[in-house]
Structure 1
């Protein structure tokens, strides 16, 4: 890469803007722990139920025909094995006011590349699942300021009909659609924008939904909004390694490297807890 060496006036670094992790705390399912220690795939069980019968007060099958309880399985295989590697020459470091300090460079790499790439992947998996299974409105009419809130409430109702709790639901929305939503009089009456956690990307709550505003560039094409329920997916980070090598025989300086092994899995028994709205 090209180098810009320091003159006397270059004493600060013009850092780029960045977002904190948006999906990390949402899909960290605390009720489900997937142990990938020593392996790259795990299999979990799900257990069937049986229908109830009308009790019969005589005969030999009073509680109904005996049915052996069945089970199913879901196998999850880690697929995201990502890495980075760059060097910092000692001469370049000394001639640029030490702005390429290794520790700061690695932190910059993680926050500007690794974190958003993970969010894009996680939201992409969730969105693709909902679209593939027609969960919501696919290729619908573009939302307007006087329709968006009612469209969101319709998807809320669909999730409630599927018996999902209102607790722990998240609304993912683009800035453009959120601006339309803020103009809706009914939304303004219901929403509590005083709940604000910028580090987690949370900007408010409405109708039991935690609102997360996401740049459209991080989402699938024609995305308008999406609702996810609690524990619908599990984000797994098997390891997140970063290191600095300062004694390599071929580099007088530092080698900075990182590797992360991760994935996101939608749980089969909760997969219907995603509703998406995309425009045509």
Structure 2
């Protein structure tokens, strides 16, 4: 007999995951991937305003154009599973189900949730709208200035002030708390330092994460809640009582998830990384695209961002391209072992 813990303990499981995760609850909840593994997000493209022409006849308001869409396809790729047994000799028969639920909760806390968070952080950095390089590792003398640069980048991208999160390791957090720039802000800030608390910097909520969670070459990550997405679903969690070959309970679990930056809101994600870890931008000229040796290039002809657009294609060397009417060729490059380059236009 198999007892389905995914339905029996779904609320408790979800609560445990949310509490244990550094990311869950800080991502967009606009899109629901429940029951599906692929979702297409359509972002309408607005048009530039023109001067009203009284003598323009039917074109008084400008030339009529059908509204276009940029499509981003989100597919959940992480499909994970686990299995373990609880020997009857170690537990009373009536406690099997309860102990199975406890083991499932422990599995989520110690393995599943950390793995999902680490994956999400890597994805958020790789897909960030801005990946800035730091010539040297931040110090307490310049960490606040570097965070200010991130805040300015979000401001310039018209990202809302609320629900901004600054993810950094304890090492970077310590630099912030001991920074002269931070300590000199006001008395309240100094009181915060005395308590070992650094709740906000430039209006961004500070989230300390273990060093192993952020990629090694990442100093910090800023993400607005509505710019990132992390769908997570417990697909299967069962306990089998006395299956063949086992004296006790056999627990099997499966869950799938993924993480994305929404292309239409990519300006709300900023990562500061080590020097020489970002690919060089390609060059777009005369309809052709060139990049460093071994770099893979993706491009679009409809003016959409090739990092997120469903219309992006892999570029074949020396191919002559022609952009769609009224658009430009846009491309980015990825070198082995490096983060994607900025987008080039031509």
Residue in structure 2 matched with residue 271 of structure 1 by the alignment: 266
1:123 CA displacement: 0.8
Cα distance in 2, alignment partners of residues 108 and 176 from structure 1: 28
User: Does 2:163 align with 1:168?
Assistant: yes
The offset of 1:125, in angstroms, is 0.5
Of residues 147, 151, 154, the one that matches 2:149 is: 154
**TM-score (normalised: structure 2):** 0.66
| Preserved CA contact (<8 Å) 2:33 2:231 | no
Mapped pair 1:111 → 2:106: no
Look up the match of 1:58: 55
Sort the Cα spacing of 1:105 and 1:68 in 2 relative to 1 into closer, same or farther, 3 A: closer
CA contact (8 A) 1:82 1:261 kept: yes
For 1:199, the equivalent position in structure 2 comes to none
Pairs aligned (count): 246
Change over 3 Å in CA distance of 1:66–1:194 after alignment to 2: farther
Q: How far did 1:206 drift?
A: 2.2
CA distance in 2, matches of 1:90, 1:278: 50
User: Match for 2:180 among 185, 209, 213?
Assistant: 185
Alignment-derived partner of residue 77 in structure 2:
79
Report the TM-score when normalising by structure 1.
Answer: 0.80
Distance, in Å, in 2 between the alignment partners of 1:114 and 1:56 is 61
- For the 8 Å contact 2:140–2:180, the answer to whether it is kept is no
Compare relative contact order (CA 8 Å, sep 6+) and give the higher one, 1 or 2.
Answer: 1
Deviation at 1:57, TM superposition (A): 2.0
SS of structure 1 residue aligned to 2:56: coil
CA positional deviation for 1:163? 0.8
Q: Secondary structure at the match of 1:218?
A: coil
Structure 2 partner of 1:11: none
* Cα distance change of structure 1 residues 72 and 279 upon mapping to structure 2, 3 Å threshold: closer
Q: What is the CA RMSD across the aligned residues, in angstroms?
A: 2.4
Matched, 1:254 2:249: yes
Gaps of 5+ in 2: 1-18, 276-346
- Cα distance change, pair 102–62 in 1 and its aligned pair in 2 (3 A): closer
- Residue of 205, 229, 233 corresponding to 2:200: 205
Residue 218, structure 1, aligned to residue 213, structure 2: yes
Shift of 1:193: 9.2
Q: Which runs of 5+ in 1 are unaligned?
A: 1-18, 196-201
Report the alpha carbon displacement of residue 139 of structure 1 after superposing the two structures with TM.
4.7
Q: Partner of 2:8 in structure 1?
A: none
CA–CA distance in 1 between the matches of 2:198 and 2:84?
36
